[in-house]
């Protein structure tokens, strides 16, 4: 009985030792878990070890060789799937953009102005007898505008003519007497002086009569102030006022940092608030800046033959200074790198490249930028999920968009 008990105890101790060894591993070469490790029970040669392993497998204490093999294969498959997932490329969408010529321009805002406002004035005093134009009429040079009552001017002309005729007769008589030697030769001087004086008096009387009719020296549109029939007009008084709209003047301001780009004769396109566009040229640049705005007043002379554009209208002007190479891109593709530099991300040879850009202008179709290659595949979708140097799977949609 003692014999059987001793063997039973020994067998139980053997099973316990095997279970303890089965729960651990022996690491060979210090390679770490999963690299050269072996189950402790397999690493030692104990009497009855195989029997102990069979019993522990049967009781579920340790896994069988087949189960270990299946577990190892599953682990390898999981690691392979993880590696494949890590190796998958980030997908992005790109579009090809080509360099274009961007017109470099200076923009001005201002108003249209009349070239000049002319007060047509009387040169003599009298009562306005008739005015031949009304407010808003278009006047051409040489048109009769006003007529002042002649009064006694006609009588003065007749008197001057009679005086001149008498003096002329006296001069002729004196000439004949001098030729016959009946009068001194020096008397001719006095008679010639009298003749010139009489002629001057007649010329003055006629000029005074002519001043009663007032003509336009220049063309324009009639507006206030103007005189009305019955008004007493003194010499220098206004008959009518003419506004000259051809040529018209656009008056605006140019910023001080762009004034050097503007020059006399520079072609300018002016667009009024009503949508009319007209081409003109810079006719004046102020030598001094506005004290409050630091901008320089500029004038552009515009042809306005039909007076279609009125004075005082809000307008904008664009002066084209030249062209610069640039790209027109959507604003949505602009991004920042890790240092906060503004730019875009593009794809070159399957890898992401970052280009810093400078904004040169904007339009309804996008943003004009400089600093890019002549042709570049810009990332339009996914640019925020990639970094420079990263390999990506790019889908270019340029051909689809243009087909």
Domain that holds residue 362: 90-101+324-402
Strands 144-148 and 375-381: unpaired
How confident is residue 29, by pLDDT bands cut at 50, 70 and 90? very low
Q: Residues 296, 285: contact at Cβ < 8 Å? A: yes
Q: Residues 146, 239: contact at Cβ < 8 Å? A: yes
User: Has residue 201 been placed in a domain?
Assistant: yes
Ranges of beta strands (E only) in 122-166 are 126-131, 138-139, 144-148
325 pairs with which residues across the strands?
Answer: 101
Identify the pLDDT of residue 255: 85
Measured between alpha carbons, how far is 28 from 326 in angstroms, rounded to an integer? 66
Q: Which two tokens stand for residue 24?
A: 């651990």
Measured between alpha carbons, how far is 394 from 375 in angstroms, rounded to an integer? 16
Identify the pLDDT of residue 5: 56
pLDDT per residue as tens digits for the range 39-78: 555 554 545 555 555 655 555 555 666 777 777 877 877 7
Q: Domain holding 368: CATH number?
A: 2.40.420.20
Q: Are residues 36 and 96 in the same domain?
A: no
Q: Are residues 63 and 10 in the same domain?
A: yes
Tally the domains of the chain.
Answer: 3
Q: Are residues 71 and 95 in the same domain?
A: no
pLDDT at 27 over 50: no
Identify the pLDDT of residue 64: 64
Q: Are residues 96 and 46 in the same domain?
A: no
Measured between alpha carbons, how far is 300 from 147 in angstroms, rounded to an integer? 37
Q: Are residues 392 and 356 in the same domain?
A: yes
Q: What is the CA radius of gyration of the chain?
A: 54
Q: Residues 398, 95: contact at Cβ < 8 Å? A: yes
pLDDT at 197 over 90: yes
User: Has residue 10 been placed in a domain?
Assistant: yes
């Amino acid at each position: 009985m003692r014999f059987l008990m001793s063997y039973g105890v020994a067998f139980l101790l053997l099973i316990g030792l095997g279970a303890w060894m089965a729960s651990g591993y022996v690491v060979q070469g210090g390679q770490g878990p999963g690299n050269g490790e072996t189950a402790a029970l397999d690493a030692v040669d104990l009497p009855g070890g195989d029997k102990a392993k069979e019993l522990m497998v049967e009781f579920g204490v340790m896994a069988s060789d087949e189960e270990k093999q299946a577990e190892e294969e599953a682990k390898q498959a999981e690691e392979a799937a993880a590696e494949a997932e890590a190796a998958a490329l980030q997908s992005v969408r790109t579009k090809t953009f080509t360099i274009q010529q961007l017109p470099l321009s200076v923009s001005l805002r201002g108003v249209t102005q009349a070239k000049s406002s002319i007060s047509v004035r009387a040169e003599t005093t009298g009562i306005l007898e008739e005015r031949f134009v009304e407010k808003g009429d278009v006047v051409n040079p040489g048109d009769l505008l006003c007529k002042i009552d002649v009064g006694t001017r006609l009588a003065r002309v007749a008197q001057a003519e009679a005086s001149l005729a008498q003096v002329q007769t006296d001069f002729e008589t004196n000439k004949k007497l001098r030729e016959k030697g009946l009068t001194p030769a020096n008397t001719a001087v006095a008679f010639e002086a009298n003749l010139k004086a009489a002629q001057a008096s007649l010329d003055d009387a006629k000029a005074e009569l002519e001043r009663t009719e007032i003509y336009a020296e220049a063309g324009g549109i009639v507006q206030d102030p103007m005189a009305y029939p019955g008004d007493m007009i003194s010499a220098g008084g206004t008959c009518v006022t003419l506004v000259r709209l051809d040529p018209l003047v656009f008056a605006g301001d140019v910023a001080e940092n762009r004034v050097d780009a503007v020059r006399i004769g520079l072609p300018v396109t002016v667009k009024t608030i009503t949508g009319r566009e007209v081409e003109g040229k810079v006719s004046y640049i102020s030598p001094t800046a506005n004290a409050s705005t630091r901008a320089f007043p500029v004038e552009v002379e515009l042809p306005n033959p039909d007076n279609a554009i009125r004075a005082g209208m809000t307008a904008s002007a664009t002066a084209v200074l030249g062209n610069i190479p640039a790209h027109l891109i959507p604003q949505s593709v602009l991004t920042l790198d890790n240092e906060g530099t503004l730019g875009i991300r593009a794809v070159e040879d399957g890898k992401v490249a970052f280009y810093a850009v400078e904004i040169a202008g904007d339009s309804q179709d996008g943003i004009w930028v400089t600093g890019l290659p002549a042709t570049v595949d810009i990332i339009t979708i996914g640019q925020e999920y990639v970094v420079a140097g990263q390999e990506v799977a790019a889908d270019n949609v340029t051909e689809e968009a243009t087909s």
